Amino acid sequence: MKLLLDLLPVIFFFGAYKLAGVYPDESLALAARWLGDDIPKDQAPILIATFIAIVATALQIGIVWLKHRKVDRMLWVSLIVIATLGGATLAFHDATFIKWKPTVFYWLLGAVLFASSALFQRNLIKRMLEAQIRLPESVWSRLNLAWALFFALLGVLNLYVAYHFSEDAWVNFKLFGCTALILVFSLAQGLYLSKHVIDDDASSEATPKPRP
- Say what the pLDDT of residue 166 is: 96
DSSP for 24-81, please give it.
HHHHHHHHHHHH-S---GGGHHHHHHHHHHHHHHHHHHHHHHHHHS---HHHHHHHHH
Phi, psi of 199 (to 5 degrees): -85, 115
**89 shares a domain with 5:** yes
Same domain, 64 and 31: yes
106-122: pLDDT as tens digits:
999 999 999 998 888 88
Residues 52 and 116 in one domain: no
> Domain of 64?
1-93
**pLDDT value of position 37:** 76
Task: Give per-residue pLDDT as tens, 132-146.
Answer: 888 888 888 999 999
* Same domain, yes or no: 99 and 190: yes
**pLDDT < 50 regions, the chain:** 202-212
202 is a domain residue: no
Domain stops at, among 93, 116, 143: 93
Query: Does 208 fall in a domain?
Result: no
pLDDT, residue 150, reads: 97
> What pLDDT score was predicted for residue 1?
60
pLDDT value, residue 5: 77
Residue 212 maps to a domain: no
Cα(30)–Cα(69) distance, integer angstroms: 35
